[in-house]
């Protein structure tokens, strides 16, 4: 995974908008960046209207000078394609390029991401501007990486119900099924007389009277994901004709509407935009007490989860392209990070293998939508408090040699298609795929275990000891082969293998495995008030499957329902364990797998990093813990990098 | 009511979809049905695309063979018209037949019930397919009943804001009012200058700036109900030309958008689809604690209420066409019934007079929208657990002679128009007509009283002792005559008789009765936090009327507001009593009426059934009670059929 | 402010709809009004379809007779323009005059206020009917005042997204910015490539993918407010050609979508429609416990706030045009006022300077939308209970001489533009401008202080001792000059002066004042669960600014964050104090300003009124308090008018 990494040491960067500031300020800015220890600067991703103010006019001078100024200060530039913000004249040219919402409203110009991925005219324009930029800057010595577009899927922009999407979907279906009869039988359209005579009769699955056929909805979700991949691919192909610098996209947190692994195939590095406080308020299922406790630190596992996910999406190479540096403007509540948290987040990313951590943004803009988003500088050019933490990281980085990241002993499969499937058919109001996988991840983290998150079509599991596959929609041959050749323990369920590719119940019933004699005969989705006691500690909640099995039933509810079933190396969970049961079950299974665990105190986390372990206190109060028989003390939001054998604390 | 019932004994049935399964399986299925003790099988209600795959092509062979196979196994077939699922080609033919939502969106093909009741082209097509089916199968010896369409009103499909509905509404208004001046004065359109000059200016009452005139909205709701009646009538007329078998529709639970009594006039038998667990989660106003307690049993009164309602809609003849047999797929949470509940539900329906109880569905489908809906068999053909309970019922039915249903001593009037009226003008957020009527019903059930639910235009009340008329929108002459000639006690209010037919306040003020000197001078709708103590036990909530009266004030709030007012045989409630007050007031009134009551323990219910009483334990724990000085014990979800005089328990 | 008031004594009035009642009843009604002590009667505001039943037909006879009948009974008539209810034929003439919602739906005829303020055709028609009415009745001796339209902004009608609005907005922008480049730079459109080439490319700011540019949204809100002003102006100009009677509009409670001060410039008297119970349920942020406690009395400060606001909007002259007389029909819950409350509300209005208090409505209508809205008479013509209270007020008015209203010692600035700004950019879910200003107002009221509410462009503060400016969006020169010349104390913040007029962060950072060395470097919006202790008593909540300052920090949080900062006469609050902290801080500042305060018991309020003080018990239970060493007792909902020096209680 990490054989020929070009960077031996993580670096820091920043996002900069020369077009927002008078040119007279650029040189000073560039030198201040370098002085702070930054070596990367991302530019250009929203600058289309300045690069091409009219369809037939390009303004290169300012951009040439900006790149030169930054480069002269010793900074590596990440140049971006500006396709997330098509200028107003583009809408004059392609009025129908705007996406449409589920209830048919056409979205308008006036913010960003106002395009439908299926509009071929705009896709062509995007490839064209990528080509033009590639041609001009592909060999520029200051430009050391490229970003394509910006935050695919942000603001619910993957799924569009436009006429362009409708006809592209019909073509996609025809390419997949060839004949309408195959589509009808694959979807089971005999049900409710939903049979079609021609592909052009198949509409997008919105605005039906009650739910559409789940197979119909599932193909639409696959199609929508493919459209993102195709859009990205068009730009990647255009750029690769002119540059050999790495291509990157900056993904977001908890966006599951497209398959990031697929998009990642066409890029060299994955990056993501890490906003721990914004995401806690905006995208977390945690309860109010949790959010209040961590409102200035972020969810202690959310960052790590995405670090591990995007390391896999990037095939080992990944960055944080935008790191929250202070309060943001877009969450329901926008507090400031505790002093120390930006440093903690930065080191945590590096310990998960980030090559670059880049802060968003250099200076707070006094105008437009994000004027309340903090930066490293205030709008008036004064330093924001956070600069002290960044300076400290720069100094620390200079002092130590950082290890490379290696495979973890435990891997969890994350499958975007499963997320679509259970969106379409939750069967119970509180079933959510991301939350399910995340519950396993958090369970492992609280046991001090480092984890890899891997794709569902992984060819082999390497030297891993335990692989966890929760809620997998449907098996694929690659995964089945990997399972067969794997010697470690596997934990499946609930709901794994419960459907065929065509969204049907498998003929031999879930979990649809030859090597494991279990048949799920019925399922129950449960009210949150209907938690069921386990024979051992903890409860199950939200989901319970009833099974017939000849395998060992290792654990049951107090009413006798089988919950954990096992044969030699396969384990199946019929239910969703609560936090207490999850940790107990995972600890047992880790022990059986030879994975060392230790229950960590609340809010304390750690991450293996070669000879080191990074210890982090996500709490707003000091803690202490034992390490190699020494007591280590960590203040609020403090971290420690400690050598595993010597017990020496580097900082 | 029950003079010449053609069935002397209830029977069991099942819903079957031969088109979903290979023909090779049909014979085995049919024999398994018969072997289980089923004698009825419903088919065809969603099979249009297989019967008529193209506008000009009919495929009868498969259906002929399916009917023959089922009939040969000794099953009576219920044939259905497939008009709830017009095939895709019908939309090509009539693109404007799709209904429109309140905000003007046209609903799409891709699920079911995708038609507007007011589209005359589709109404004609529906009558046509009914006629063709009637012609072919009207005299078929295996077909012993017909179902028209499926679940009118399910998925909010009664009310459509399409152009077809608009012009049909204008015609309906012109037929009703003749001149626009009469409409203007009937509605009081002088208010806010809402006067029209022509009928074609009257729009549907959606998307107005603030609420439309309630008289306008009320006429629209009457119109929408009439459209359902006309749609059903067109098919009924078509079928009756070719068959003398009984015509049935399968209604749903708590759907009030059309007048079921009116539709029932054109049919021979009423049936309904009883999903106790689904309805508890999806359509019940009960609080979380109640739902948690009864999540695997269903609301103990909801089934009985609808049994009693549809017995009346069916003029004495009624079935359960679809009985929930396990977990369903469509509620927010989908648990399994407790073991025993399917048997309990089945016997309860029979004790309320059901001629047939038919389970939905024979085998769980592995594909499409309802793949997570359980059946009597698993998708792989194995039996589901529930078959044991059904086999048991078959055996029990064979052993006993079942009595006919006779009039109950107490009747409640249920008036669909009142439901529309208080939807339109709740006056307080927590006023709901169904909930009000249901509160009286539950109060009586908890006192062990069997109840009839009757139409608002009932001609006479027979030998009943107590008639309850809560929340009646407006008097009609038939009802006033019935009241006049009735010798028993009558309980009215709150809100009864509070409007004229034109949705105006009556000139002599509510309750608008000559024989009862009460004038409602003002009303208050109350926050749920503003419950008022009664002088006796309990509270009133949600609603309080202030009155002038010379009649006896029997009960007041602790602040002295009259709550129960009485003259010789008329009683008026000015407020909505809570559970405790409701039971006390009903018990007093029952005593006054000569109706025997006894407060039942929680979760225990009973139903009079000729010489027998059916005793039911809706609790998830065992109970015991005294009957004829014997202690009877009922396990969780258990029932007992006990002879009233001997005290013998049949099972 | 009050030099030449034409009315030396407040008067009572009523709203009457002769067109709703048979002409035979008019005379009796008119005499009953006069007998009750009413001297004003408002008519005609919804009568357009009776005045002009067809485009080319006017019916004056009935209206002439109605005015004459009322006038003959000694009543002064307020004639209204009927433009809030254009008749149905107007829609035939101008189908595109209907407003459109944010999601593009065209609102329909069938209620009221169904016009878009930007439709020039309808604006012309409105001026035309005003002119015709003015011509006919402008000199009528019975007509002593005019009302233009009715309740601007009610039912969310200020903001429309119609094509008319779109093109009017483009013209408005062009008039403001002259060139598109100026607009682009003023808005900061370089951000996200939002730059325009032509004004006709600028769309309304709805349906953007994520939030639009706040400068774009702010200009749209200014434009929408200007359209109301222009619409009103057109009618005012038309009327003034024919009449010299005062022109009035009846505003509503807590409607902030247009600048009432601006509209008020074109009118002679401001009035408002005071519905204390309806507004408590419908427009109050109070919690459930508060609403339950005051559900029959209303929020004790809400009426006073609007009285003070509209006194300022009316430049000293103001009325209550519609006073709630009993339960209403339009709130989520509609209880009745406690006996005494209508009298209390009436006297309270007068003590705040109301010239007229007019009840809505004379008789409850038995038909149409407001049939459940009570009046002074029941639908059958009987008196409602409330008439006794009104008769009592008439008698009391006859007995006493009422003082004029003079400037209060404390003023709060209320700025409609700030309300728009923080709607657009709340930055935290629980930041609301009205609620912020209201919190200061309530804090003062609970200290027994009378307050003026003044416009943000006030030229000078007169003899006031304390001026409070919370949450001011942006400074204007007039206000800065007034501040400079003011000798009293000023309390600013939080968020005051935090933007430039173009919705940008000021170059020298907020609060953007030369005379006060404070720089807000960052802000936090806080979860409601994250209240922060102050060093002294109380907490701050919802909002906290971090500052650099060389001024005195008077108070901090327990964590040391500066909360109150002061130089000689300027005070700045960095946070939103809770109730306890607010009262303490205001009491301190009042003391420093020489304003006398005394903490009032809960639910008790008072208002200075010349030599008198009006004491009010908003509680549902009796209270007592000390006044001039005498104990005064007030029953539930009772009031007392007490001479300040003698201590004599007039009633």
Q: Give me B622's structure tokens.
A: 């065992």
pLDDT for B401 equals 84
Distance of CA A214 to the CA centre of its chain: 25
Confidence (pLDDT) at A5? 43
pLDDT band at C9 (very low <50, low <70, confident <90, very high): confident
Q: Which residues contact C625 (CB under 8 A, 6 or more apart)?
A: C600, C601, C604, C615, C631, C632, C634
Contact at CB, B327 and A211, closer than 8 angstroms: no
Say whether B151 is catalytic. yes
Tell me the CATH class for B11-95+123-155+245-397: alpha beta
Instruction: Show residues of chain B in contact with A205, CB under 8 Å.
Output: 110
CB B558 within 8 A of CB B549: no
Which band of pLDDT confidence, cut at 50, 70 and 90, is reported for residue C403? confident
The Cα–Cα gap between C90 and A286 comes to 54
pLDDT of residue A2: 39
pLDDT of A9 reads 86
- Distance CA(C177)–CA(C172), nearest Å, equals 9
3-class SS at B561? coil
Report the C-alpha gap between C499 and C581 in whole angstroms. 26
CB B305 within 8 A of CB B339: no
Task: Reply yes or no: is the peptide bond before residue A630 cis, omega within 30 of 0.
Answer: no
Q: Is pLDDT above 50 for C3?
A: no
Would an 8 Å CB–CB cutoff place A329 in contact with chain C? yes
Beta bridge partners of B649: B642
Which is catalytic among the residues B45, B151, B409, B638? B151
Task: Kindly tell me if the per-residue pLDDT of C516 is higher than 50.
Answer: yes
Q: Which residues pair with C633 in a beta bridge?
A: C624
Choosing from C45, C151, C389, C583, which is the catalytic residue?
C151
What's the confidence (pLDDT) of residue B512? Answer: 97
Residue in C47, C92, C372 closest to B425 by CB: C372
pTM of structure: 0.97
* H or E element at residue A167: helix A163-177
- The shortest C-alpha distance from C360 to chain B (Å) reads 15
Closest residue in B to C281 (Cα–Cα): B527
**Nearest-CA neighbor of C78 among C146, C10, C7, C178?**
C146
Task: From chain B, pick out residues whose CB is under 8 angstroms from the CB of C16.
Answer: none
Residues of C with CB below 8 A from B510's CB?
none
- For C424, name the nearest residue in chain A, comparing CA atoms only: A369
Q: Given an 8 Å threshold on Cβ–Cβ distance, is C85 in contact with B193? A: yes
The band of B420, judged by pLDDT with boundaries at 50, 70 and 90, is very high
Minimal CA separation from B479 to chain C, in Å: 24
Give C88→chain B minimum CA distance, Å: 6
| DSSP per-residue codes, C496-560 | TT-S-TTS---TT-TT--TTS-EEEEEEEE--TT--EEBSSSSEEEEEEEEEEESSEEEEEBTT-
- C190, A380: Cβ pair inside 8 Å? no
CB of A546 within 8 Å of a chain B CB? The answer is: yes
Q: What is the pLDDT of residue A27?
A: 98
Please answer yes or no on whether A372 and C213 come within 8 Å at the CB atom.
no
Residue B273 has which token pair?
Answer: 């689809």
Distances (CA, A) of C580 to C50, C285, C431, C584: 55, 18, 19, 6
Of C207, C525, C529, nearest to A334 by CB-CB distance is C525
> Are the beta carbons of B525 and C110 separated by less than 8 Å?
no
Give the Cα separation of B531 and B576 in Å (integer): 10
| B residues 142..201 contacting A (CB < 8 A) | 154-155, 157
What is the spatial distance between Cα B488 and Cα B475, in angstroms, rounded to a whole number? 19
Q: How far apart are CA A574 and CA A577, in angstroms?
A: 9
Q: Tokens at residue B521, please?
A: 């001078």
- Inform me whether the C-beta atom of residue B214 falls under 8 Å from chain A C-beta atoms: no
B551 is catalytic: no
Nearest CA distance, B210 vs chain C (angstrom): 6
Q: At B240, which helix (H) or strand (E)?
A: helix B214-240
User: Does B574 reach chain C within 8 Å, measured CB to CB?
Assistant: no
Q: Phi and psi dihedrals of A102, rounded to 5? A: -60, -30
- What mean pLDDT value characterizes chain B? 97
What does the buried/exposed string (b/e) look like for B46-77 if buried means 16 or more CB atoms within 10 Å of the residue's CB? bbbbbbbbeeeeeeeeebeebbebbbebebbb
| Separation of alpha carbons B85 and B111, rounded Å | 8
Decide: A293 and A620 in contact? Cβ < 8 Å.
Answer: yes
Q: Looking at chain B from residue 75 to 104, which residues have their Cβ under 8 Å from any Cβ of chain C?
A: 103-104
Angle at C93 between CA C89 and CA C95, to 5 degrees: 100
Tell me if C428 and A334 make a contact (CB, 8 A cut-off). yes
Chunked in runs of 10, what are the mean pLDDT values of chain A (651 residues)? 54 98 98 98 98 98 98 98 98 98 96 98 98 98 98 98 98 98 98 98 98 98 98 98 98 98 98 98 96 98 98 98 98 98 98 97 98 98 98 94 90 98 97 98 98 97 97 98 97 98 98 96 96 95 98 97 96 98 98 97 96 96 94 97 93 92
Q: Can you tell me the mean pLDDT for C172-184?
A: 98
Chain C residues touching residue A365 (CB < 8 angstroms): 188, 191
**A201/B326 Cβ within 8 A:** no
Instruction: From chain B, pick out residues whose CB is under 8 angstroms from the CB of C370.
Output: 191
Query: What are the structure tokens assigned to C140, written together?
Result: 């009528």
Compute the count of residue pairs across chains A and B with CB atoms less than 8 Å apart.
167
* C190/A329 touch (CB, cutoff 8 Å), yes or no: no
Cα distances (Å, whole numbers) of residue C616 to A170, A461, B276, C342, C408: 71, 78, 55, 12, 19
Compare CB distances from A505 to B50, B291, B371 and report the shortest one's residue: B371
Chain B contact set for C328 (CB, 8 A): none
Average the pLDDT over C630-648 and give the result. 95
For residue B8, the model assigns a pLDDT of 64
Distance between CA atoms of B117 and B136, rounded to whole angstroms? 26
Asked if the C-beta of C495 comes within 8 angstroms of chain A's C-beta atoms, the answer is: no
Q: Which residues contact A384 (CB under 8 A, 6 or more apart)?
A: A325, A326, A364, A374, A375, A376, A377, A378, C521, C522
Dig out the tokens for C623 from the structure: 């209270």
Asked if residue A531 lies in contact with residue A540, where contact means CB atoms within 8 angstroms, the answer is yes
Helices then strands (H, E): number in chain B? 18, 24
Collapsing DSSP states into helix, strand and coil, what is residue C355?
Answer: coil
Note the pLDDT of residue C493.
93
| Per-residue pLDDT tens over the stretch B350-401 | 999 999 999 999 999 999 999 999 999 999 999 999 999 999 999 999 988 8
pLDDT mean over C16-29:
98
What is the assigned CATH class of domain B410-593? alpha beta
The model's pLDDT over B161-201, given as tens digits with 9 standing for 90+, comes to: 999 999 999 999 999 999 999 999 999 999 999 999 999 99
DSSP state of B19: G
The residue assigned the tokens 């878009």 is C116
- Coil, strand or helix: which one is C136? helix
- The CA distance from C229 to the nearest CA of chain A, in Å, is 27
B591 touches chain C (CB under 8 A): no
Question: Within 10 Å of residue B337's Cβ, how many Cβ atoms?
Answer: 25
Q: Which of residues 4-63 of A touch B (CB under 8 A)?
A: none
- CA distance, residue C59 to nearest chain B CA (Å): 14
User: C146 and C239 in contact (C-beta within 8 Å)?
Assistant: yes
* Contact (CB<8Å) A49/C525: no
How many angstroms separate the Cα of B448 from the Cα of each of B297, B301, B584, C147, C400? 19, 11, 13, 62, 66
- In degrees and rounded to multiples of 5, residue A186 shows phi and psi of -65, -40
CA–CA gap between residue C616 and residue C608 (Å, rounded): 12
Look at residue A249 in the predicted model and tell me its pLDDT. 98
A426 contacts chain B (CB < 8 A)? no
SS3 of B574, please?
coil
Interval B290-313: pLDDT, tens: 999 999 999 999 999 999 999 999
* C396's tokens: 């009391």
Query: What DSSP string describes A297-350?
Result: T--TTHHHHHHHHHHHHTTT-EEEEEE--S--SSSSS--PPPTTHHHHHHHHHH
Q: Which of chain C's residues have a Cβ under 8 Å away from the Cβ of B504?
A: 366-367, 371
Contact yes or no for A526/A574 (Cβ under 8 A)? no
Our CA-based measurement puts residue B282 at a distance from the nearest CA of chain A, in whole angstroms, of 12
DSSP states of C54-103 as a string? BTTB---HHHHHHHHHHHHTTPEEEEE--TTS--HHHHHH-GGGS-B-TT
Give residue-wise pLDDT tens across range B243-270. 999 999 999 999 999 999 999 999 999 9
Same fold, B11-95+123-155+245-397 and B410-593: no
Q: What is the pLDDT averaged over residues C11-30?
A: 98
CA-CA distance, B474 to B425, in Å (whole number)? Answer: 14
Annotated catalytic residue, options A227, A262, A322, A409? A322
B-chain CB neighbours of C23 within 8 Å are none
For residue B361, cis peptide bond before it (omega within 30 degrees of 0) = yes
CA distance, residue A11 to nearest chain C CA (Å)? 27
3-class SS at B174? helix
Within 10 angstroms of residue A63's Cβ, the number of other Cβ atoms is 21
Single out the residue of C103, A583, A47 nearest to residue B101, CA to CA.
C103
- Test C429 with A333 for CB contact under 8 angstroms: yes
Query: Which residue of the set C45, C227, C257, C322 is catalytic?
Result: C322
CA-to-CA distance for B405 and A294, rounded, in angstroms? 64
Hey, are the CB atoms on B191 and C367 less than 8 Å from each other? yes
DSSP state of B557: B
- The pLDDT of residue C226 is above 90: yes
For chain A, domain boundaries: 11-95+123-155+245-397, 410-593, 604-643
With an 8 Å Cβ cutoff, are A335 and C197 in contact? no
| Triad B188, B192, B193: Cα angle to 5° | 80
Q: How far apart are CA C86 and CA B155, in angstroms?
A: 37
Contact C357, C10 (CB under 8 A): yes
């Amino acid at each position: 995974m990490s054989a020929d990494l070009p960077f031996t040491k993580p670096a820091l960067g920043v996002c900069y908008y020369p077009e927002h500031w008078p040119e007279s300020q650029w040189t000073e800015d560039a030198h201040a960046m370098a002085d702070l220890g930054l070596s990367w600067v991302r530019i250009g991703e929203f600058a289309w209207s300045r690069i091409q103010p009219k369809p037939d006019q390009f303004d290169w001078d300012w951009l040439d000078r900006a790149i030169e100024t930054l480069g002269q200060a010793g900074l590596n530039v990440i140049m971006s394609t500006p396709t997330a913000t098509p200028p107003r004249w583009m809408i004059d040219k392609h009025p129908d390029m705007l996406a449409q919402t589920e209830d048919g409203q056409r979205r308008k110009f006036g913010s960003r991401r106002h395009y439908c991925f299926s509009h071929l005219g705009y896709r062509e324009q995007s490839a064209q501007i990528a080509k033009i930029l590639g041609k001009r800057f592909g060999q520029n010595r200051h430009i050391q990486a490229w970003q394509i577009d910006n935050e695919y899927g942000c603001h619910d922009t993957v799924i569009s119900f436009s006429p362009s999407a409708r006809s592209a979907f019909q073509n996609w279906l025809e390419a997949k099924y060839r004949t309408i009869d195959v589509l009808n039988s694959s979807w089971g359209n005999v049900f409710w007389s939903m049979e079609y005579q021609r592909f052009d009769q198949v509409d997008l699955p919105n605005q039906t009277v009650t739910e559409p056929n789940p197979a119909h909805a599932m193909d639409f979700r696959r199609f929508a994901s493919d459209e993102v991949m195709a859009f990205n691919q068009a730009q990647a192909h255009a750029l690769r004709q002119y540059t050999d610098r790495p291509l990157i996209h900056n993904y977001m947190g908890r966006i599951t509407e497209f398959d990031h692994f697929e998009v990642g195939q066409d890029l060299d590095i994955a990056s993501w935009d890490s906003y721990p406080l914004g995401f806690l308020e905006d995208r977390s299922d945690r309860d109010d007490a949790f959010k209040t406790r961590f409102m200035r630190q972020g969810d202690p596992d959310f960052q790590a989860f995405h670090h591990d996910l995007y390391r896999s999406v990037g095939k080992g190479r990944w960055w944080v392209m935008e790191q929250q540096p202070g309060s943001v403007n877009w969450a329901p509540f926008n507090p400031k990070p505790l002093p120390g948290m930006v440093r903690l987040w930065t080191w945590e990313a590096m310990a998960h293998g980030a090559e670059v951590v880049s802060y968003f943004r250099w200076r707070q803009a006094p105008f437009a939508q994000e004027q309340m988003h903090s930066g490293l500088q205030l709008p008036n050019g004064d330093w924001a408090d956070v600069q002290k933490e960044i300076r400290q990281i720069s100094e620390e980085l200079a002092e130590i040699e950082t290890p490379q990241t290696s495979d973890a002993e435990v891997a969890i499969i994350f499958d975007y298609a499963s997320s679509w499937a259970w969106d379409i058919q939750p069967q119970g109001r509180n079933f959510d795929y991301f939350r399910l996988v995340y519950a396993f991840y958090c369970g492992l983290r609280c046991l001090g275990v480092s984890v890899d998150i891997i794709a569902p079509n992984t060819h082999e599991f390497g030297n891993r000891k335990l692989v966890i596959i929760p809620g997998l929609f449907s098996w694929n041959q690659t995964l089945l082969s990997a399972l067969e050749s794997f010697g470690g323990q596997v934990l499946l369920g609930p709901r794994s293998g419960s459907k065929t590719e065509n969204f049907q119940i498998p003929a031999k019933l879930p979990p649809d495995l030859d090597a494991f004699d279990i048949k799920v005969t019925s399922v129950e989705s449960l009210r949150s008030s209907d938690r069921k006691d386990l024979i051992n500690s903890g409860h199950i909640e939200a989901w319970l499957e009833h099974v017939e099995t000849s395998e060992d039933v290792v654990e049951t509810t107090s009413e006798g329902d089988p919950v954990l079933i096992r044969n030699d190396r396969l384990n199946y969970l019929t239910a969703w364990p609560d936090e207490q049961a999850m940790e107990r079950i995972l600890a047992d299974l880790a022990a059986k797998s030879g994975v060392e665990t230790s229950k960590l105190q609340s809010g304390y986390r750690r991450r293996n990093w070669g000879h080191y372990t990074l210890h982090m206190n996500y709490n707003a109060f000091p803690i202490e813990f034992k390490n190699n028989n020494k007591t280590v003390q960590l203040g609020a939001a403090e971290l420690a990098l400690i050598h595993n054998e010597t017990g020496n604390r580097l900082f």
